[in-house]
Amino acid sequence: MNNPPFVSTPELSVEQRGPVLWLTITREERRNAMSHGVLAGMTQAILAAQGQRDLRAIVITGAGVKAFCAGADLQSAKAFTTDYSEPHGHLAQLLRAARASYVPLIARVNGACMAGGMGLMSMCDMAVAARHAVFGLPEVKVGVFPAQVLSVLQHLIPRRTLNEMCLTGEPITSAQALEVGLVNYVDDDVDAKLQWLLDRMLDKSPAAIRRGLYTLKKVEAMAFEESMSFTESQIALFTLTEDAKEGQKAFQEKRKPNWVGH
């Protein structure tokens, strides 16, 4: 079977490094602001990655050290939409693709993470930030509001913090972002910490992570009894996988498991 069409463009580098797919916004001169091409390319890559079993993670980042993503490109005449008659915008489609992804997404926040960039970071399952990174929702400064971003951000941080960021437009530091749970780790060496986090995940069961991420995302919006009904059937399915059988056998034999990913 041919590999999915992971295609780089001048604005978005798409590169598979072993079991990890790297999506890097390459618009450093525009502080890695999102163009419609960047959003469409990311969406296509995330969707294609779902069918490639050798991929274990997707890293999303920006080129350089100044900015992860500055949000929509306000220099563009159509920064927020290309067609007002189209019900689904490019950012919304990307957030949908990320939400449906069973390949874990990790944000490598290498610099300023602002506005729509907060959406890219928040749609990821985990995030590692450089110490100099800053985080903000400055939309009110230009007369708009971080509407779509709220869909993926509102459950990550305390409501009072979210309200302040939205209503004042003022940024927070990486230390504050860590304190409120916006990111998993902050480090002077963001790449070393990212690799450390990847290594802790890549040696685990691919099947458990794939089905587990599906379960995590499904139960988030469920009421208690609904989630119990769903998860009590899910756990039975987990035990039927080859990885579950191998994991338990390896535990009994006191050895490292040899995952097959099924």
Q: Identify the band that residue 118 occupies on the pLDDT scale cut at 50, 70 and 90.
A: very high
pTM for the complete prediction? 0.92
The string of pLDDT tens digits covering residues 78-104 is 555 555 545 557 899 999 999 999 999
Residue 33, classified by CB atoms within 10 Å of its CB into exposed (0-12), middle (13-18) or buried (19+), is: buried
**Structure confidence at residue 1 (pLDDT):** 43
Is the CB of residue 207 less than 8 Å from the CB of residue 243? yes
Tell me the domain boundaries of the chain.
12-202, 206-252
What are 204-240's pLDDT values in tens digits?
999 999 999 999 999 998 999 999 999 998 998 899 9
Asked if 35 contacts 11 with a C-beta cutoff of 8 angstroms, the reply is yes
Q: What is the fold, at CATH topology level, of the domain defined by 12-202?
A: 2-enoyl-CoA Hydratase; Chain A, domain 1 (3.90.226)
Q: Tell me if 177 sits within 8 A of 129, measured CB to CB.
A: yes
* Backbone CA torsion sign across 186, 190, 192, 194: positive
What's the pLDDT at 78? 57
| pLDDT value at residue 76 | 58
Amino acid at 111: G
